[in-house]
Amino acid sequence: MDLCCEKLQEYVANAGGAGVSIVARIIADEYVFVLQSRACSLSEEPLLKNAAMETAKTHPIQAKLRISTQQAIFYCPHCGTSLREQANNDREAFKALTNQHREFLI
């Protein structure tokens, strides 16, 4: 899918990876992008969760640790282009991207 700028392309390419990424998804029949942040890559999450559970057996923790979060966004965080317009300009490509990103949703 053609995106507004190189930085957005980098964020989209990092979907499922550690750090900041942008993931395509469908919410209530609307195509949207979500800004996502992960403490570790999706493939590393089970290792981190297992380590936390083992540690909690001997050192109980009263707080929940969030290792990922996401929030819908409507404009490119780098250049300000409307992401809704980008999604609607090429709905087939966006739908294909949502299928690629399905496993990365939180």
Question: Which pLDDT value is given to residue 87?
Answer: 92
Phi and psi, residue 17, nearest 5°: -95, 170
Q: What is the DSSP letter of 82?
A: B
β-strands 19-27, 30-38: how paired? antiparallel
Model pLDDT, residue 84 = 92
User: Are 19 and 10 within 8 A, CB to CB?
Assistant: no
The residue among 60 and 39 whose pLDDT is bigger is 39
Average pLDDT over residues 46-73: 84
Q: Kindly tell me if the per-residue pLDDT of 29 is higher than 90.
A: no
The mean pLDDT of 71-95, rounded to a whole number, is: 94
Residue 95: pLDDT above 90? yes
- Please determine, for residue 106, whether its predicted confidence score (pLDDT) is greater than 80: yes
pTM of the model: 0.83
Six-digit token string for 67: 């290792």
CA angle 44, 47, 48 (to 5 degrees): 85
The contacts of residue 48 (CB under 8 Å, 6+ apart) are 39, 40, 67
Return the number of other C-beta atoms located less than 10 Å from residue 78's C-beta: 14
Look at residue 59 in the predicted model and tell me its pLDDT: 82
Q: Among residues of the chain, what percentage have pLDDT more than 70?
A: 100
